[in-house]
Amino acid sequence: MSHISLGQRYKIEGYLQINLKRAQIAKEIGLPKKTVNQEIKRNSNPQTGIYKAEEAHQLYLDRMQKKRKAIHFTEEIKEQVTTLLKEDYSPEQIAGTLKNISHQTIYKFVWNDKKKGGDLYKHLRNQGKRYQRKETYKSNDPINDRKSIDLRPAIVEQRSRIGDYEVDLVMGANHKGAILTFNDRATGYTLLGHLPCKGAIHTKEMIAKLITENQLTIHTITSDNGKEFSKHKELSEEFNLDYYFAHPYHSWERGSNENYNRLLRQYFPKGADLRFINEEELERVQNKLNNRPRKRFGYMSPKQVYLQAIKNQGNVNLLNNNQQN
């Protein structure tokens, strides 16, 4: 909208008082009719609908005062962005954390850095590559007493409590060595375990170890149909939990796990040898991802959300309501 002076506003007020049509008002003060219409609509008294020049001008000034000033991509901000990129924050997470720069600007900064020979792009998810995960289910590998995800309680879908976990294996080169990911659906808080192989016994023992050592509250576990999860009944009986299986080739039914695994591949890319992982390195990555801010929680981290949920008797629903308020 074209800038309107206080003098022009006085003229609009006067012409309205003598019931001059808006097209004629626009012609008299040398402005487009659309501009005059917008001016009257935006700056008339909200209660009475009457247009007064001085009041309209003050409304305009108040809006300008509240309007967010453009923030330049200064060297100081570039330094902050670079630091967070090297901590493997995504551009969206950086934008949400700093709150003074857009993620689009950060992406441009990264790609300009790459053109100059820089390596900031290496800290982006998958470094710009796309990975497709293959389902491990095979029809000739039956799992006894399998309980379908169709029977899983509706509260699990609501993500309103902690204790509903998704489990999966991220495989190493030639399917030798794996990382077990154990992901809380509601908070994204995830525990990692190293497996020298993907056998059912090793998998069951690692899940049990993570639950016991971390004193986890567990209501349900959901996995794919890989035979490495065939010891599910033992877990159900030992920890008094309900174990469910997603439909074959329906990876989206375990969306929390799938999304997390993509984050994990930033540190352990496909083709990496996972037979001999340094436990300290695995813990470092686990802590890094659990402390990384997430957009869906207003840029709180999974760990922050998880710990606050524990204070709320495991109820994440109350936490989300508090964030909105």
| Predicted confidence (pLDDT) per residue in 90-146, tens digit | 888 888 888 777 888 888 888 888 888 888 888 887 655 544 444 444 444 568 888
- Going by C-alpha positions, the residue among 160, 178, 158, 159 that lies closest to residue 168 is 178
Tokens at 151, concatenated: 């029977």
CA dihedral for 178, 289, 221, 193, sign (positive or negative) = positive
pLDDT over 90 percentage in the chain: 41
Q: Which residue has the tokens 């990264």?
A: 110
Q: Are 155 and 161 in contact (CB under 8 A)?
A: yes
CB-CB contact of 208 with 197 (8 Å): no
Output the pLDDT for position 71: 59
Tell me whether residue 305 is exposed, middle or buried, using C-beta atoms within 10 angstroms of its C-beta: 0 to 12, 13 to 18, 19 or more. buried
Report which secondary-structure segment, H or E, holds 34: helix 33-43
Structure letter (DSSP) for residue 295: G
DSSP bridge pairs for 190: 183
User: What pLDDT sits at residue 109?
Assistant: 87
φ/ψ (deg, to 5) at 310? -60, -40
Q: Which pLDDT tens digit goes with each residue over 38-96?
A: 999 999 988 888 999 989 888 887 777 665 455 577 888 888 888 888 888 888 888 88
Query: From CA 37, how far away is CA 16, in angstroms rounded?
Result: 12
Q: Which two tokens stand for residue 252?
A: 């989206």
Q: DSSP states of 38-57 as a string? A: HHHHHHS-TTT----HHHHH
The per-residue pLDDT for 2 is 58
- Helix count (H) and strand count (E) of the chain? 14, 5
Residue 232 has pLDDT above 80, yes or no: yes
The more confident residue out of 134 and 147 is 147
- 179 bridge partner residues: 170, 194
| Diameter over CA atoms, the chain | 89
